[in-house]
Amino acid sequence: MKQFCLQMLISFFAALCCYTNVFAAGHSFSGTIDTVQPKMVKIYGAGGLRGLEAYQSGFLISNEGHVLTVWSYVLDTDEVTAVLDDGRRLSSEMVGFDPRLEIAVLKVDVADVDHFARNEPAVLQPGSRVLAFSNLYGVANGDEPTSVLHGSVSAITTLSARRGAYQSLYTGPIYIVDAMTNNAGAAGGALTDRRGNLAGLLGKELRNTENNIWLNYSIPLSELNQAIDDILAGKVRPRGDDTGRKKPEQPVSMDDLGIVLLPNILNRTPPFIQYVQPNSPAAEAGIKADDLILYVDTTVVQTRSELLEEISYIDKLDVVRLTVQRGQKLVAFEIIAAGSK
């Protein structure tokens, strides 16, 4: 009985100390939260099909209105709205995206806005206390503040080390956090240290295919900075026909490759492959129906129209290099058009 009472007493004091620490931390966090909220953005776009949410999170990374977020179906529309912390609803422009890292950069028409600094990202360790800012469940749709979760870093690992249980295009380092960040709308939010310094981007909803356990994780900013710089510099932006390039006299076509694309049923129809002609160059290379074409050579193509435009700059005699998304993998192919062998 004495031992039981002693254990109860120890548990009580441990809980009291924990409560005191959380209260103190929460008190010190209030100022941090106030400084971070103006940098957060609520993003609204495509969705509604099959119960998909039409919203996600983002945050400002420049005083010219550049917004970092995740690359997802929410952005597959001509009208993506960014709602700032003060409630302003602004149309956003796609600057560029990187499917390998599953990130995108948008641009809103503002100037001299508060934003996160990227030059010295916070480096976290297991046990580091963190704050996760996001518009989870779309609770904030105007000037309401985004949601804030308090937690810590449970582990630092790589998605590629998960033995395929978590299916994601990104397979690099991640912070696993003990806050429930893997909820609808949270993807694209900001992970900061307790002082509000940006540490990472909250990842997309990710569930273990073996046991259905959701993974709460963030991609370290250090893994994203080079790609963000490339996007801002226009290195991965679809080039279109405004770069002064000349089209060849005999450009290659999708028919030459044996690829039939999904019909252009939307303004921004993704370049999905609907059918591959038997014994065609694409079939011989290993291209399959339902592959999603993401790159022509090193140029990102986001829509069917962008793909056809980029293909029109390739001579029929040249090798066509395509990178496709197949399931949760990126696969690269080289195709020699029919009649050029």
Same fold, 35-232 and 254-336: no
Q: Is 133 helix (H, G, I), strand (E, B) or coil?
A: strand
290 token code pair: 């339902």
Q: What is the DSSP letter of 5?
A: H
Question: Which of these, 325, 291, 320, lies nearest to 308 by C-alpha position?
Answer: 320
User: For residue 172, which of 68, 73, 102 has the smallest C-alpha distance?
Assistant: 102
Token couple for 158: 């790589």
CA distances from 65 to 76, 116, 194, 226 (A): 20, 11, 25, 19
- Sign of the C-alpha dihedral, residues 314, 315, 316, 320? negative
Rounded CA-CA distance 228/246 in Å is 29
pLDDT at 24: 46
* Check whether domain 35-232 has CATH 2.40.10.120, yes or no: yes
Give the span between the Cα atoms of 215 and 70, in whole angstroms. 16
Write down the architecture of domain 254-336 according to CATH.
Answer: Roll (2.30)
C-alpha closest to that of 85 among 118, 108, 52: 108
pLDDT in tens, the chain (341 residues): 444 343 433 333 333 334 344 444 444 678 999 999 999 999 999 876 556 789 999 999 999 999 999 988 898 887 899 999 999 999 999 998 888 888 999 999 999 999 999 988 999 999 999 999 999 998 888 899 999 999 999 999 887 655 455 567 677 899 999 988 888 899 999 999 999 999 999 998 776 666 667 789 999 999 999 999 999 988 765 554 445 678 898 999 999 999 999 988 766 788 999 999 999 999 999 999 999 998 898 788 888 988 999 999 999 999 999 999 887 678 889 998 865 55
Please name the residues in contact with 29: beta carbons below 8 A apart, sequence gap of 6 or more.
Answer: 131, 150, 194
Check: CB of residue 335 under 8 Å from CB of residue 319.
Answer: yes
- From the number of C-beta atoms within 10 Å of its C-beta (0-12, 13-18, 19+), residue 30 rates as exposed
CA distance 73 to 190: 19
The domain ranges of the chain are 35-232, 254-336
User: Which pLDDT does position 338 carry in this prediction?
Assistant: 63
For the CA atoms of the chain, what is the radius of gyration? Answer: 23
pTM here is 0.73
3-state secondary structure 209-229: CCCCCECCEEEEHHHCHHHHH
